[in-house]
Structure 1
Amino acid sequence: MSLHYNGATFTLVVNPAAGRGRARRLLPKITSALVAGLPEVNLRVVQTSTWAEARLRCIAAVEQARPPQPGRPRDSLLVMGGDGMMHLGLNAAAGTQVPIGLLPAGSGNDFCRGVGVPTSPAGAVRAIIDGKLRRIDLMSATGNLVDGAEQRWVGSIVSTGFDGRVNYRTNRASFTLGGLVYGWAALAELHRFEPLSYRLVIDGVPREQTAMLIAVGNAGWFGGGMQGCPKADVTDGLLDLTVVNPVSRTTLLRLLPSMYTGKFIKDPAVELLRAREVVVDGDGLYAMADGEELGDVPVTLRAVSDMLSVYSPVGQ
């Protein structure tokens, strides 16, 4: 008689180098906790060494997932690493019924914050074991994107101004300071930054202006714990826009620390908007999304409801 395993399969795709090797150090404890907490689940662990490999492994896990069956957990994709790994996972699972589990091990973990997943390893594991699913919105980004892509899904924020330039510099830093590297990059950019020219179309209405930054968010966090769009709601079917109108460099420097608490929105230079679709264009703009390069403007950003199932204590 042959034995056939018919339980759910959870595929854990890991970037071991995330968080300066933190993911590699945490992996044995994470896998042990998942196995102990989900004895009926077949846990497959895939360690990746490149961005391209991680992307393909995430896509394969979703494509191989079986349709949900009554009385058993769903085949699921788990991703472990920083926001770049979360970005790959959500792009693989977007528009499907395959749940995604988030195991933060990077320096930022902004997408986890934005969807209510604990940033502690133990809390994130517990959310997956408890099995509560939250169905959330994503942001569709289309345009002439990096790597020849025409469309990508975004979980958190698209940055194109001062914030985008800081993000770009952070990714190219030749040294590591953990979460402090974003602050270093902000100071490095600040000394020569000037307001940028934006050409927007917000729900069909053209708008031209200069600004220090215009962040467009699905969820609210970016830059390793900064609340770029503090009032963002991943279930409201809308994008949040945070506009920092032209200010002096001294004022911008003063605002930066309060972005970690969200209190910067009380400043008269800050404007909050909501929209279903935003076209971002302008001079000298380059788009970053979820901490990764998105591409040159123009980009069209659109809120799409009910696109992703996430293991979260918030549940539904």
Structure 2
Amino acid sequence: MSKRIGLVVNPTSGKNRGMSLGLEVAHRLRAAGHEVLDLSDESYAAARDRALGAIAQGIDVLAVVGGDGMAHLGIDLVAGTTVPLALIAAGTGNDIARGLGLPVHDPVHAADLVTTGVPRTIDAVRHVDAHGQPRWFGGVLGAGFDSLVNERANTWPWPRGQMRYNLAILRELPLFRAIPYAVTVDGVRHETRAMLVAVGNGPSYGGGMQVLPDARMDDGLLDVLVLHEISTPEFLKVFPKVFKGAHTSHPAVEVLRGREVTLEAAGIVAYADGERFAPLPLTVEVVPGAVTVLAPSPRRPGR
């Protein structure tokens, strides 16, 4: 059945291959008989506005091509609507697509899910700002050492990619001290000094760091990791374990679980799905089934 597809492409994703991948995806969708509306634009904000207009006027699917930043945009756009989202992962990290079992670095296969995929509802996380405007994310929100590294890296025009963040870690680490936090989960307040706090609807961020390995995108709950104050040498020992999710056994790591989380700390800006999100204090809540994604059909037993 022919569908009207709104397509948003990040031209810089996939080591600047996003534009060519977007053209490949559009060709694939049109060859399958779909109408494709290219909603991409020179800026993130302009593309967002165009996509909002298309959703309001009526499209059957919103498809985004890129990494976690584009997944973040897509989730923010379709959350709370009936428009399904097609994630065509073509970025560096692709944590959200990977967490959902979607094709990664295979845009043709991912584009085919617009035709063959089945709707799957997942949770999304909502923050309402001081002006009453909702903002959504789908993966992990970081608010600590990780977000400070992001803040530093985003001030540098060079180098690009992962190396910029590696250098920012080296610059930030000697200056970093544990942060006084108040973390409130479902009305229960915890005050502590911590190295970082992460709130997860999904398990990973940063290109495969399994910060909350037991988090699930469809369980109606948020997992909250608190890495309490430890020395810098101990932090250097613990931090690499996050890539395998082995850090959760450390005595300084605490994982809480609930539906609504408030984070309070001075001078911290939270990042969600790798994107600058909001300064603390902030409150987020999980909204079960807020987003529909197009996913591969579940395999039948024995097949």
**TM norm. shorter chain > 0.5:** yes
Give 3-state SS (helix, strand or coil) of 2:287's partner.
strand
The 1:173/1:111 distance shift into structure 2, 3 A limit, reads farther
Letter in 2 for 1:33: R
Aligned residue for 1:134? 120
Is 1:13 aligned to residue 8 of structure 2? Answer: yes
Any conservation in 2 of the 1:65–1:76 contact (CA below 8 Å)? no
How many aligned residue pairs are there?
298
Structure 1 stretch displaced more, 11-20 or 305-314: 11-20
How far the C-alpha of 1:127 sits from its partner, in A, is 3.1
Structure 1 residue runs of 5 or longer lacking an equivalent are: 1-5, 67-74
Alignment of 1:147-296 (within 5 A): 150-296=133-279
Aligned residue for 1:113? 98
Is 1:54 aligned to residue 47 of structure 2? Answer: yes
Structure 2 residue runs of 5 or longer lacking an equivalent are: none
Any conservation in 2 of the 1:158–1:217 contact (CA below 8 Å)? yes
How far the C-alpha of 1:10 sits from its partner, in A, is 0.9
| Residue number among 39, 59, 73 corresponding to 1:88 in the alignment | 73
Any conservation in 1 of the 2:182–2:190 contact (CA below 8 Å)? yes
Any conservation in 2 of the 1:135–1:309 contact (CA below 8 Å)? yes
Give 3-state SS (helix, strand or coil) of 1:273's partner.
strand
Aligned mates of 1:43, 1:143 — CA distance in 2: 33
Letter in 2 for 1:14: V
How far the C-alpha of 1:32 sits from its partner, in A, is 2.8
Give 3-state SS (helix, strand or coil) of 1:198's partner.
strand
The 1:85/1:94 distance shift into structure 2, 3 A limit, reads same
CA RMSD of aligned residues (A): 2.1
Aligned mates of 1:22, 1:314 — CA distance in 2: 28
Give 3-state SS (helix, strand or coil) of 2:39's partner.
strand
* Percent of aligned pairs with the same amino acid: 38
How far the C-alpha of 1:272 sits from its partner, in A, is 1.3
Aligned mates of 1:42, 1:216 — CA distance in 2: 38
Aligned mates of 1:91, 1:132 — CA distance in 2: 21
Aligned mates of 2:45, 2:129 — CA distance in 1: 21
Give 3-state SS (helix, strand or coil) of 1:304's partner.
strand
Give 3-state SS (helix, strand or coil) of 1:226's partner.
coil
Aligned mates of 1:150, 1:46 — CA distance in 2: 23
Is 1:100 aligned to residue 85 of structure 2? Answer: yes
Aligned mates of 2:262, 2:129 — CA distance in 1: 10
Aligned residue for 1:308? 291
How far the C-alpha of 1:235 sits from its partner, in A, is 0.6
Aligned mates of 1:315, 1:288 — CA distance in 2: 32
Letter in 2 for 1:55: R
Give 3-state SS (helix, strand or coil) of 2:17's partner.
helix
Aligned mates of 2:297, 2:170 — CA distance in 1: 36
Letter in 2 for 1:9: R
How far the C-alpha of 1:282 sits from its partner, in A, is 1.8
Aligned residue for 2:62? 77
